[in-house]
Homo-oligomer: A and B are copies of this chain.
């Protein structure tokens, strides 16, 4: 069992009563499309599992193949293919619509079912006596994208193939659909996936360990097109435009990714992943960002860091700067609404 020999730096402090109550360590890479490192905090060469932060890289084949065009997927549907959504009604309905376009239904999804992330959706479903389905899984849009790709592949096969038979086991590393998805990750990160650790993700597809430096490089490529093959260039442009047009689909009500992209539009493409991972493209700067918090904390660590990085790197007007500042300097209140502390990006990070 390997572990760090040197601790990564503290990137977020949780304050209470004027002292540091808790802290979050992690690493951060900012890289340009040529692969040059712009900013580095902590160990950016250790391979980490990017989890859901790279859904846009996994969605490139859906567009690059021609499948998205064949099934006439909308902006909302393409955004959902890149999403970790909250399982709100529109998310579940949109996943179902994607599947219907390709002539299948929720039975084709192998992601498993779980209760929505969105608190209001949980209570509404409980009140209505409903149980969650695979459509409520935060990854249902990504999986619907895989299924759409698979349906297109089966149709394109020389003699045509039975859709259901072809789709079976699409989550396996050696299935033609997943091989396309892995090839996209390989091409965009430039990292040798055949020789790195492979784990199983929450939704059962493989996750490959990739260093932050390579992940940030991949997002710089996605943001600029530089270093991508032409069909991936076009696909990246299409997916970024879809997310900018329908940011609600990529996360949901009140969630960081949706709120930031609703505000800043195509200037930012950001995506959270489980276990404290965040990736982003800042197209106008030609930069990609990748973050991993050592402790795997998402909401209160990773988001604070990403907000600080965006605010530091992007030229923002006062209103947009204040909007981002509210995410990197968070006031913590208790059950009575009394201010009890703050979450703050570490001082050093603000000056990166």
- A interface list, Cβ under 8 A from B: 1-4, 7, 10, 13-25, 47-49, 110-114, 122-124, 126-127, 129, 137, 197-204, 207, 209, 275-276, 293-297, 301, 334-338, 340-341, 344, 347
Is B14's CB under 8 angstroms from A296's CB? yes
Partner of A2, one of B2, B3, B20, B335: B20
Residue pair B336, A112 in contact (C-beta under 8 Å): yes
Instruction: Give the contacting residue for A126; candidates B1, B123, B197, B341; CB below 8 A.
Output: B123
In the complex, the count of this chain's copies comes to 2
Q: A157 to chain B: closest CB distance in Å?
A: 27
Residues of chain B contacted by A334 (CB below 8 angstroms) = 112, 200-204
The 9 A-B residue pairs with the shortest CB-CB distance, nearest first, are: A17-B199, A112-B335, A22-B296, A7-B7, A123-B126, A295-B295, A16-B199, A112-B336, A126-B126
A338–B204 touching, CB < 8 Å: yes
Chain B residues near A275 (CB-CB < 8 A): 14, 21-22
Contact (Cβ within 8 A) B17 A340: no
CB within 8 Å for A129 and B126 given contacts A19-B209, A296-B21? no
- Asked whether A10 lies within 8 Å of B17 as measured between CB atoms, the reply is no
Contact B197 A18, beta carbon cutoff 8 Å: yes
CA distance A13 to B1 in the complex (A): 9
Give the complex CA separation of A152 and B337 in angstroms. Answer: 29
Check A295/B23 contact, CB under 8 A, given A15-B1, A334-B203, A335-B111.
yes
State whether B3 touches A114 (Cβ < 8 A): no
Shortest beta-carbon distance from A26 to chain B in Å: 10
- The answer to whether B23 touches A3 (Cβ under 8 A) is yes
A134 to chain B, nearest CB (A): 9
A263–chain B nearest beta-carbon distance, Å = 28
